Chain A
Amino acid sequence: MNHLLQLNKSLVLIFLVFLTIISLIFFFLKNEILLKSEIEFDTISNNSFDILNPKFTINNENEIITIQAKNGNFLNQNNVVLENDVVFKSDKFKIYSSKVLFDKKNQTAYSKNDSTFVSEGTTIKSKGFEIIDKGNTIQFYGKTKIILLE
C-alpha cells in the first residue's frame, strides 16, 4: 500500500517537473519570437525593399479598405512592413502613416508612427494606430487629438 502511494508521488513529481520545463520553454520561446518580429519591424533597412508600390485590401461586410505604400518588406509569408507614404483608403476614411506592419492573413494593421486619420468632418492625429476586426475597429494610440467639424 505504502509502495503504491510512493510510486504515485514520484510520478506526480516527474509530471510536474516535465510540465514546468515545457512551460518555461514555451514562455522563453514566445518572448523571443515577439522580440524578433519587433526588432525586425524596427530595423529593416530603408535601402532594400522586397516590393515597390505594394497594394493590399482589407474586406469586411460594409467596406473595402485598400492599403498602398511606396515600399514593402516581407517579414514572413503573412506579415509585411509597409514604408513611405502608407495610405489606408476606404469610402469613409483615409489613414496616412510612414510605417505600418500589415498582417495579410488576419487582415490587421499596426503602426507606432505618427498617423493621421481623415474622414468626413473628422481629423485624428495620433502616435500610432491598429486596425483589427477587418477594419471595423480602429485604435489610435498615445496622445491623440481629434478635430470635428459640426
Chain B
Amino acid sequence: MIKLLIIILFFSSSILSREVGQTEITTDEGIEVFQKEKYYLLKKNVSIISDNFELKADLVKAYFDKDLYDISKIESAINVILKSSKGILAKGDKINFSTKDENISIKGNSSSLTYGNIFMFSQDLVKVNNLNGNFIIEGNEAELKTDSIHIFGSLIKGNFVTINNVKEVEKLYVEDDKQANIKTENINMFAKIAKYNKKDNIIELFENVEVIRDNEIITGDYANIDTLNQSYKVKSNNSDKKVKVLIRQTNE
C-alpha cells in the first residue's frame, strides 16, 4: 500500500515537472494569451526555467512565432533577474531579450550585467549581444569593470571576445560630458573621449586629458597610452595651451 502511494505520488509529481528540453513557467496570477497579436502576458511572481536561461520577474510579456512554445522575444518588468546557462547574470527594472539573436537589454535604475569577469552597470541602459559580443552602457554612472580595467562615463560601447574562457574587451569607446575615467592597475586616466583597441594595445584620450601615474599628473588635449609597457605620450593641440606635468611630493 505504501509502495503504491509512493508510486502514485512520484508519477503525479512528474506529470507536469520540467524535463531536459522543456521550458517551465509558473505564475501566481495567471496568464493572458493574445492569439492574434502572438504574445502572452504572465503576471505576478513569474518564473521561467529552461535549459538556456532562468528568469524571475513580476510581469512578463512573451512574444511567440509559430505557437506558444516558440518564444522569440521576452519583455520583463519589476524586480527582474535573468541568469543564462552561459554565465550571464542580469538585474534591472526592465529586461528585454530575444531568444534567437541573444540580444539582452536592461533598463532602469541599477541595471547590471555580469558576464564572467566582466561587470557592466548603469542607471539607465545596458545592452549586450551575446552572439557578437557588442555592448552599450549608457546613462548616469555607466560603468564597466574587468580584471584589468575599470571605466566610468556616460557612454561606454565596444565589444568583448572570449579567449581561453576569459572574456576580454576587444574594442572600446568611452565618452562623458565632463570627464570619463579609465583606471588600470598603474594608470588613472581622465578625458572627454577615450578609445581602446586590443589589437594595438593602445588607449587614446581626447579633450580635457589628465593622466595620473604614481606621483605624476600630466594634462593636455590628447594622450596615447601603450597598455603593454605602460608608456604614454601627451600632446596639446595649440601652442597657447601647453602640456603640464605636476609631480607630487610624498613623505617617505
Mark A residues whose CB is within 8 Å of B: 62, 92, 119-127, 135-150
Contact = CB atoms under 8 A, between A and B. Distances in A.
Contact of A125 (B16, B21, B22, B67): B16
B30 A126 contact: yes
A62 B67 CA distance: 14
Contact of B22 (A124, A135, A142, A148): A148
Interface of B: 16, 18, 21-36, 50-51, 66-71
Contact of B26 (A92, A122, A136, A143): A143
Contacts of B50: 148, 150
Contact of B70 (A92, A121, A141): A121
A137 B33 contact: yes
Give 8 nearest A-B pairs by CB, closest first.
Answer: A121-B69, A146-B25, A148-B23, A148-B69, A122-B68, A138-B33, A140-B30, A141-B30
A127 B25 CA distance: 15
A62 B51 CA distance: 33
B35 A137 contact: yes
Nearest to A145: B26
Given A121-B68, A148-B69, 20 more contacts: A120-B67, A123-B16, A125-B16, A137-B35, A139-B31, A139-B32, A140-B33, A141-B30, A142-B30, A143-B27, A146-B24, A146-B31, A148-B22, A148-B23, A148-B24, A148-B50, A148-B71, A149-B22, A150-B21, A150-B22
A136 B23 contact: no
B69 A122 contact: yes
13 contacts: A62-B36, A121-B70, A124-B31, A136-B35, A138-B33, A139-B31, A144-B30, A144-B31, A145-B25, A147-B23, A148-B24, A149-B22, A150-B51
